[in-house]
Chains A and B, each alone.
Chain A
Amino acid sequence: MGQRVGIVATGQTRYRSKRKDCSAPDMVYEATSRALADAALTLKDIDAIIFGLAPEALDGINSMDKWCADAAGARNKPFMRVHTGGATGSSVANAAVYHVASGMFDTVLAVAMERVGETPDAQTILNRIYDPVVASDFGLNIINHVAMETSRGMEAYGFTEEHMAMISVKNHLNAFNNPYAHLQINVSVEDVLKSPVVCWPLKLLDCCPRSDGACAVVFASEKKAKRMAPVPVWVNGMAALTDITVPGEIRGGQEQIRLTAARAYQMAGIDHPREQIQVVECYAPFSSLELMYYETLGFCERKDVVKLVESGFGAMDGEVPFVPSGGVMCTNPIGATALIRIAEAAIQVMGKGEKRQVPDVTNALATGYGGSPGPGSASFVTVMVLGKK
Chain B
Amino acid sequence: MSEHIAITGIAQSKRPTDNKNSLADLIFEVSSEALADANLNIDQLESVTLAAHDMMDGRAITTMLNAAPAGAYLKDEIRVAEDGAFALIMACLRVLSGHFTNSLVVSWHRSSECPDNTFHTVANLSYDPFFYRPFALNDVTAHAIQAQRYMHKYGVSELHAAQIVRKNRSNGVNNLLAHLRSEVTAEEVLKSGHISYPLKALDLPPLSDGACAMVITSSKKLKSSNKPRAWIKGFGWSNDTYYSGDKELAHLESLSLAANQAYQMARINNPFKQIDVAEIHDITSYHELMEYEALNFCPGGAAGKYVDNGSFEINGELPINPSGGCLSSNPYTATGLIRVAEAALQVTDRAGEHQIAGAKTALAHGMSGLCAQSNCLFILTGNI
Contact = CB atoms under 8 A, between A and B. Distances in A.
Interface of A: 1-2, 23-24, 49, 53-57, 60-63, 65-70, 74-85, 91, 94-95, 97-99, 101-104, 125-133, 239-244, 259, 370-372, 374, 376-380
A378 B238 contact: no
Contact of B61 (A67, A99, A132, A371): A371
B374 A80 contact: yes
B90 A95 contact: yes
Given A56-B54, A77-B239, A95-B90, A61 B99 contact: no
Contacts of B374: 66, 69, 79-80
A95 B78 contact: yes
Given A83-B61, A98-B97, A103-B2, 17 more contacts: A57-B60, A61-B126, A62-B55, A63-B368, A69-B241, A78-B239, A80-B237, A82-B80, A104-B93, A126-B60, A127-B60, A129-B64, A242-B48, A242-B76, A371-B61, A378-B68, A378-B72
Contacts of A104: 93, 96
Given A2-B98, A76-B257, A377-B64, A99 B93 contact: yes
A367 B243 CA distance: 35
B87 to A, nearest CB: 9
B307 interface: no
Given A2-B98, A66-B374, A83 B81 contact: yes
A164 B59 CA distance: 32
Chain B interface size, as a band, is: 35 or more
Interface in B242-262: 242-243, 253-254, 257, 261
B129 to A, nearest CB: 7
Contacts of B53: 62-63
Given A82-B80, A128-B60, A70 B96 contact: no
A268 B54 CA distance: 35
Interface in B1-22: 1-2, 22
B373 A83 contact: no
Contacts of B40: none
Contacts of A128: 59-60
5 contacts: A24-B128, A53-B81, A63-B369, A240-B76, A242-B67
Contact of B240 (A24, A61, A63, A75): A75
Contacts of B242: 66-70
B89 A101 contact: no
Interface string B77-88: 111111000100
The secondary-structure label for the interface of chain A is mixed
B178 to A, nearest CB: 27
B73 interface: yes
A2 B53 CA distance: 30
Contact of A75 (B126, B241, B368): B241
Nearest to B98: A2
Contacts of B125: 60-62
Contacts of B59: 128-129, 132
A310 to B, nearest CB: 35
B181 interface: no
B60 A125 contact: yes
B68 A241 contact: no
B344 interface: no
B49 to A, nearest CB: 10
B241 A81 contact: no
B75 interface: yes
B93 A244 contact: no
A84 B60 contact: no
B327 interface: no
B149 interface: no
A138 to B, nearest CB: 15
Nearest to A55: B60
B361 interface: no
B80 A102 contact: no
B257 A63 contact: no
A1 B99 contact: yes
Chain A CB count within 10 A is highest, among B22, B92, B241, for B241
Contacts of B60: 55, 57, 125-129
A143 to B, nearest CB: 15
A25 to B, nearest CB: 8
Contacts of B58: 132
A116 to B, nearest CB: 13
Interface string B31-65: 00000000000000000100001110011110111
